[in-house]
Amino acid sequence: MSAQHAATSFAGRELTLFRILFCVAALWNFAGAIPGLTDPAGMFEREFGRALTDPVMVSVYRGAWGTALLYGFGFLLVALHPVRHTGIILMGGLGKALFALNLFQMFLNGWTSSFAIVVIAGDAVFVALFAFFFYRMKSKRLDIF
Q: Where are the domains of the chain?
A: 3-139
Neighbours of 72 (CB within 10 A): 21
Is residue 8 scored above 60 in pLDDT? no
Is residue 51 scored above 70 in pLDDT? yes
Instruction: Report pTM.
Output: 0.89
Is residue 12 scored above 50 in pLDDT? yes
Query: Which CA distances in Å does 57 have to 5, 41, 71?
Result: 49, 9, 21
Dist. CA 126–CA 78, nearest whole Å: 14
Tens of pLDDT, residues 93-129: 999 999 999 999 999 999 999 999 999 999 999 999 9
Which secondary-structure segment (H or E) carries 49?
none
